[in-house]
Amino acid sequence: MNRGDEDMEHSERHTLDEQIVTDFRERMTYGEYLQLDRLLSSQTPLSEHHDEMLFIIIHQTSELWMKLFLHELTSAITRINEDDLATAFKMLSRVSKIQSQIIYAWDVLSTLTPTEYLAFRDKLGQASGFQSFQYREIEFRLGNKNAQLLRIYEKDPALLERLTQVLHAPSIYDAAIGALARAGFSIDRAVLERDVTQPYQANQSVAAAWMAVYQDVQRYWELYELAEKLMDVEDGLQQWRFRHMKTVERIIGFKRGTGGSSGVPYLKGVLEQRIFPELWDVRTQF
């Protein structure tokens, strides 16, 4: 390339650069659209320790991902109730990708050593991730209901009301079972009319319906896809729980949690919970 070609190429690049908007006196900026002044001023460490910023940002970003998780999950429940399963699949696929982001966040937090964490842990008081109202709403909407946990949120009446409404709302698994019934499967009335504030208990009629779906995939393709999307979500939830448990064990060992839980033993116990039991059992029985 000779000097003349270089000058021409430089001139073209310069011309393209001139198309970039630089005058924002009457225009909305990127920072204004995202309200970055509010977002980036929300990190207020309570100690002078360098690593508290890591701790805050990891948990704040996880809460943002959970907000999107709930946005997609609640819409997916509506779509399933409307028998618009194809749209629900797109939303549930996005939920699974969101879960991957939350899971990977533990890798960043696990760079925090016991010495570093203990330097500011006392500043947390009794604040704990166990109290995350968005995580609680996710569990409720997936079907893992526990009315006793609402006591944690009595300090905030509006928040308590929000979670109480979710407690009384059918979960995504209730919606899926409703889809089975509308497809012609014989589902026990006790299941279809059950008290949705209570944890779901496995039922033989639901198990038989899912077995039939897995035995004739072509006939029940959408229900089969729904089952697999739900399994993706529960699998992601269990991976999140496992990474949480191992990160806690790595950083504080078997100390009690700041919120009063037994810590690692409690988190190990949670790993035994199953929210879509028949979808797990069908793998053994199929």
pLDDT tens readout for residues 174-228 = 999 999 999 999 999 999 999 999 999 999 999 999 999 999 999 999 999 999 9
5-19, 59-73, 243-257: the lowest-pLDDT one: 5-19
DSSP string, 108-145: HHTTS-HHHHHTTGGGGTT--GGG-HHHHHHHHHHT--
Specify the pLDDT at position 27: 94
Q: Is 172 annotated as a binding residue?
A: no
AA identity, residue 223: L
Q: Is 56 annotated as a binding residue?
A: yes
Specify the pLDDT at position 142: 97
Specify the pLDDT at position 4: 58
> pLDDT confidence of 21, banded at 50, 70, 90?
confident
Mean pLDDT of 156-176: 98
pLDDT exceeds 70 at position 7: no
Give dist(CA 45, CA 266) in Å, integer: 28
Q: What is the residue whose two structure tokens read 């907000």?
A: 67
Q: CA 139: distance to chain centroid?
A: 9
Specify the pLDDT at position 14: 56
Q: Is 102 annotated as a binding residue?
A: no
Mean pLDDT of 29-44: 96
Condensed to tens digits (0 to 9), the pLDDT of residues 45-91 reads 999 999 999 999 999 999 999 999 999 999 999 999 999 999 999 99
Specify the pLDDT at position 2: 62
Are the C-beta atoms of residues 286 and 211 closer than 8 Å to each other?
yes
Helix, strand and coil content of the chain, in percent to the nearest 5, comes to 70, 0, 30
Which residues lie below 8 Å from residue 121, measured CB to CB, with a gap of 6+? 252, 258
pLDDT cut 90: percent of the chain above it = 82
Six-digit token pair at 212?
Answer: 């039939």
Are the C-beta atoms of residues 210 and 227 closer than 8 Å to each other?
yes
Mean pLDDT of 126-134: 90
pLDDT exceeds 80 at position 13: no
**Which residue would you say has higher pLDDT here, 17 or 116?**
116
Q: Is 121 annotated as a binding residue?
A: yes
Specify the pLDDT at position 9: 55
Specify the pLDDT at position 53: 98
Q: Is 59 annotated as a binding residue?
A: yes
pLDDT cut 70: percent of the chain above it = 94
Six-digit token pair at 185?
Answer: 């499967």
DSSP string, 92-114: HHHHHHHHHHHHHHHHHHTTS-H
pLDDT exceeds 80 at position 6: no
Q: Is 185 annotated as a binding residue?
A: no
Specify the pLDDT at position 259: 82
Which residues lie below 8 Å from residue 47, measured CB to CB, with a gap of 6+? 119, 120, 123
Q: Is 117 annotated as a binding residue?
A: yes
Contacts 24+ apart (CB under 8 A), 210-214: 210/180, 210/278, 210/279, 210/282, 211/282, 211/285, 211/286, 212/185, 213/180, 214/282, 214/286
Q: CA 13: distance to chain centroid?
A: 44
**Which residue would you say has higher pLDDT here, 23 or 168?**
168
Cα angle 204, 209, 215; round to 5: 120
pTM of the model: 0.90
- pLDDT, averaged across the chain: 93
Q: What is the residue whose two structure tokens read 């650069």?
A: 17
